[in-house]
């Protein structure tokens, strides 16, 4: 067994059985290059281990797992959808997945069908209330932005999509800064640091929970960031003008502030919460929520959505 593999197995053991933190483990390595090599190897060892365990679990009675083949199909479908800055929502059922898959067979002509279907799942008031109460307001790097996310959601339900986009897009960057432990005083990360972020999961956590889906969501976030939202403007237009640089700096006359693009931003934010949960390996407060816990937010979001159908709003007159 080579030195790198021994080191990789050692850090896996220390995280799993000795509750060592990543910061503690990094001190064992002289250079960042060494940590990069060993942490990625540890990640890949566990990924293969998870795939083998998946096969064993499928043979056990009364054990429900997503087969490796299905996970690979989800990965592949997300890769296709990422060309349109889209992905399979976290809360999608198997039936939802099959419907999106059917639509995807006829892309690009079915892009709007896919967006509308994703929107019906991901922007439903009940799901948004669950995300707010169970994740956005609870997770350390997200909770500072709780009211800003709510502000963008209010704009979304009032159909003020320009305000929604311009409010939520900076939150994506703010969360990434918190995730990178930026303290507001040290040198701010470069533009390319954001674009590389979701490729560097093993550096932050070589032993994430649910590693197969950690890979799925890391890949979709990486694709959306690089293909569209953080795509350098010198390399061409982003799909549907879904690009924070174009929007925040008003570089050209564009239609960034659309319902579709706001749906895309909330989808990306949700994917980020999932990765953070896997890497943090802590209990997910969302699973402990009952209907009473989300009743207030659910009612407000639902009323906002319904009231707009029954009145001539300022947004209707001024922003159409």
**What per-residue confidence (pLDDT) applies to 233?**
85
**What per-residue confidence (pLDDT) applies to 247?**
87
Question: For residue 108, what are the contacts with CB-CB under 8 A and spacing of at least 6?
Answer: 84
Per-residue pLDDT for 222 more than 80? Answer: yes
**What per-residue confidence (pLDDT) applies to 76?**
97
Per-residue pLDDT for 237 more than 70? Answer: yes
**What per-residue confidence (pLDDT) applies to 312?**
65
- Give CA torsion, residues 135, 137, 141, 146, to 10 deg: 120
Per-residue pLDDT for 185 more than 90? Answer: no
**What per-residue confidence (pLDDT) applies to 60?**
85
Any idea which residue has 């940590």 for tokens? 35
**What per-residue confidence (pLDDT) applies to 306?**
84
Exposure class string for 10-48: b at 16+ Cβ within 10 A, else e: ebbebbeeeeeebeebeeebeeeeebeebbbbbbebbee
Per-residue pLDDT for 251 more than 90? Answer: no
Residues of the chain with pLDDT > 70: what percent? 96
Per-residue pLDDT for 119 more than 90? Answer: yes
Q: How confident is the model at residue 61 (pLDDT cuts 50, 70, 90)?
A: confident
Per the CB < 8 A criterion, the answer to whether 81 and 239 are in contact is: no
Q: How confident is the model at residue 15 (pLDDT cuts 50, 70, 90)?
A: very high
Q: What is the mean pLDDT of residues 58-65?
A: 84
Per-residue pLDDT for 253 more than 90? Answer: no
Per-residue pLDDT for 181 more than 80? Answer: yes
Alpha carbon distance 87, 294 (integer Å): 25
Mean pLDDT over each residue of the chain, to the nearest integer: 92
Of 75-84, 192-201, 240-249, the poorest mean pLDDT is in: 240-249
DSSP annotation string for 160-221? -HHHHHHHHHHHHHHHHHHHTT--SSSPPPPHHHHHHGGG-HHHH-SS-SSHHHHHHHHHHH
Per-residue pLDDT for 172 more than 70? Answer: yes
Of 1-10, 121-130, 219-228, the poorest mean pLDDT is in: 1-10
Alpha carbon distance 257, 248 (integer Å): 11
DSSP annotation string for 177-192? HHHTT--SSSPPPPHH
Alpha carbon distance 125, 147 (integer Å): 16
Question: For residue 278, what are the contacts with CB-CB under 8 A and spacing of at least 6?
Answer: 205, 208, 209, 210, 211, 213, 214, 217
Per-residue pLDDT for 309 more than 80? Answer: no
Q: What is the mean pLDDT of residues 74-81?
A: 98
Element (H, E) at 57: helix 32-58
Per the CB < 8 A criterion, the answer to whether 65 and 42 are in contact is: no
Alpha carbon distance 284, 62 (integer Å): 24
Q: What would the pLDDT profile of 31-53 be if each residue is shown by its tens digit? A: 889 999 999 999 999 999 999 99
Q: What is the mean pLDDT of residues 198-209?
A: 96
pTM, two decimals, is 0.94
Q: What is the mean pLDDT of residues 214-229?
A: 98
Alpha carbon distance 303, 315 (integer Å): 16
Question: DSSP state, 237?
Answer: P
Alpha carbon distance 23, 36 (integer Å): 13
Q: Dihedral sign, CA of 7, 282, 89, 238?
A: negative
């Amino acid at each position: 067994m080579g030195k790198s593999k021994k080191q990789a197995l050692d850090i896996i053991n220390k995280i799993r059985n000795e509750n060592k933190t990543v910061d503690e483990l990094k001190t064992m390595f002289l250079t960042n290059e060494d940590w990069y090599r060993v942490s990625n190897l540890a990640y890949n060892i566990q990924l293969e281990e998870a795939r083998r365990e998946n096969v064993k679990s499928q043979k056990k009675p009364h054990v429900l797992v997503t087969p490796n083949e299905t996970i690979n199909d989800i990965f592949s479908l997300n890769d296709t959808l990422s060309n349109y800055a889209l992905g399979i929502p976290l809360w999608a059922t198997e039936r939802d997945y099959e419907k999106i898959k059917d639509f995807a067979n006829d892309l690009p002509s079915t892009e709007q069908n896919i967006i509308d279907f994703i929107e019906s799942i991901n922007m439903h008031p009940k799901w948004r209330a669950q995300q707010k109460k169970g994740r956005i307001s609870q997770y350390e790097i997200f909770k500072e932005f709780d009211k800003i996310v709510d502000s963008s959601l209010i704009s979304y339900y009032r159909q003020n999509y320009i305000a929604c986009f311009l409010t939520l897009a900076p939150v994506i960057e703010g969360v990434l800064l918190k995730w990178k432990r930026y303290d507001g005083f040290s040198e701010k990360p470069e533009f390319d640091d954001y674009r590389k972020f979701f490729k560097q999961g093993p550096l932050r956590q070589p032993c994430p929970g649910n590693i197969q889906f950690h890979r799925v969501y890391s890949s979709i976030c990486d694709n959306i960031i690089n293909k569209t939202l953080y795509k350098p403007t010198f390399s061409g237009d982003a799909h549907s003008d879904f690009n924070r640089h174009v929007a925040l700096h008003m570089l050209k006359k564009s239609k960034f502030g659309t319902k579709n693009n706001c749906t895309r931003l909330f989808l990306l934010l949700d994917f980020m919460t999932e990765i953070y949960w896997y890497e943090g390996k802590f209990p997910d407060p969302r699973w402990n929520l009952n209907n009473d816990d989300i009743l207030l937010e659910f009612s407000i979001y639902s009323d906002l959505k319904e009231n707009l159908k029954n009145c001539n709003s300022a947004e209707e007159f001024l922003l159409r």
